[in-house]
Structure 1
Amino acid sequence: MPAAERARHLLTFCGKCDCGCPELLVDHEAPAERRIVITDDFGQRIQMSVEQLEAIVEEARAGRITELVIAELALGVR
């Protein structure tokens, strides 16, 4: 069975439309380093460990991700 079919859905990040919003899933059968699955609205997916997800969440809670994105967008580089 493909990973996408066996992964357990946890969260849809938008959910206010039918456009294929990003989702957070857990694949309990995957190796530990690939257990967390994030899909985007274009059908792409990334897989990571729980520890990697925790590092991303910590950066987000501290506001560092938002700060970096806002600063980069302000540059307007194409």
Structure 2
Amino acid sequence: MSEHGSGMRHIATFCGQCNCGCPELFLADGAPPEREVVITDDFGQRIEMSREQLAVLVADVKSGVLDAVLAPVG
């Protein structure tokens, strides 16, 4: 895990198959617990959440809650 910016530890890049500024996941060292997980997008926006919120999101993804979002429309 590398450092990125002030106290941001890079955890994962989502996509990474291009050079377009893919979404990334960081841990913000020194941030308040409710804001220590940071997800950035390729438009310069960011989402800040707690580790507990991230755990719920990961559990939901693993259980298939978001599968319908990825299903083709038609």
TM class, shorter-chain normalised? 0.7 to 0.9
What is the distance in 2 between the residues matched to 1:23 and 1:70? 19
Root mean square deviation, CA, Å: 1.7
State the partner residue of 1:6.
7
- Indicate the structure (1 or 2) with the bigger Cα radius of gyration: 1
Unaligned runs of 5+ in 1: none
Tell me whether 1:33 sits opposite 2:45 in the alignment.
no
The residue identity in structure 1 corresponding to 2:67 is: T
* Runs of 4+ with deviation above 4 angstroms: none
What SS does structure 2 have at the residue aligned with 1:41? coil
State the partner residue of 1:16.
17
- State TM-score, norm by structure 1: 0.80
Q: CA deviation at 1:70?
A: 4.5
Q: Which has the higher helix share?
A: 1
Unaligned runs of 5+ in 2: none
25-34 or 4-13, which deviates more? 4-13
